[in-house]
Amino acid sequence: MIRLGNVLVSPGEGGVYGERTLDGYRVWDPYRSKLAALYTLGGGVDLTPDMRVLYLGAANGTTVSHVADYAGTVYAVEFAPRPMQDLLEVARRRKKIVPIMADAGRPEEYAPFMEAVDLIYQDVAQPDQVGIAERNLVFLKPGGHFILMLKTRSVDVRRDPVEVLGEALAGLGRRLDVVDVRWLEPYHHDHAAIVCSRRG
């Protein structure tokens, strides 16, 4: 990952969502992107040009655009029509992005388009985030990584985030090795990043 001083940046054509540029690089703001927050906090899996990535919950494609600046091919799955329109616009200028309109909880909808990937990044506002992760493991290469951004409030607003995290870790541990867990404070509240790897 490229840092200019303390600032996380990505190489690529700017002007995707009004992001700042620095010496020709696009600034990747940790307050806006949870993945950027994870990298800024010293965690995460480095993205390389030979990587294939499945991105679940692509939304408007802001973070996707940064991932595509680093990685080889990015399969970006998004369900809602409005953000999908923005994502298509982002994908028009970035040939590495394959935009897929489908429900991340139903991998059979997009399985006919998928190859095995090195990294799955999941950032969906759904209660059953661990279940969605499990159903998508079929796309992950042995030894590949899974980064789950756990939105504890989406699981259950009333419960203690720490408790929600504990439960998620237990769930993920069934099929994956949990490598790293960290809260995204001070950039994002009640969000935990869980980095796992698939047993080889």
Question: Dihedral, CA atoms, 77, 49, 66, 93, nearest 10 degrees?
Answer: -80
99 lies in the binding site for other proteins (CB under 8 A)? yes
7 forms part of the interface with other proteins (CB under 8 A): no
- 101, 128, 134, 178: which one binds other proteins (CB under 8 A): 101
Three-point CA angle 62, 65, 68, nearest 5°: 150
73 belongs to the binding site for other proteins (CB under 8 A): yes
Side chain identity at 20, as an amino acid letter?
A: R
Does residue 97 bind other proteins (CB under 8 A)? yes
Interaction mask 118-137, other proteins, x per CB under 8 A: -----------------x--
Q: What pairing do the DSSP bridges indicate for beta strands 117-122 and 73-78?
A: unpaired
Taking CB under 8 A as the rule, does residue 95 contact other proteins? yes
Rule CB under 8 A: say whether 154 interacts with other proteins.
Answer: no
Q: Does 107 bind other proteins (CB under 8 A)?
A: yes
| CA trace torsion 55, 56, 60, 61 (10° rounding) | 0
Q: According to CB under 8 A, which one of 3, 46, 93, 113 is a site residue for other proteins?
A: 113
Binding residues for other proteins, rule CB under 8 A, total 26
Contact 39, 107 (CB under 8 A): no
Which tokens hold the place of 175?
A: 């099929």
Closest to 78 (Cα-Cα) out of 49, 54, 51: 54
Site residues (vs other proteins, CB under 8 A): 73, 81-82, 84-85, 88, 91, 95-101, 107-108, 111-117, 135, 138-139
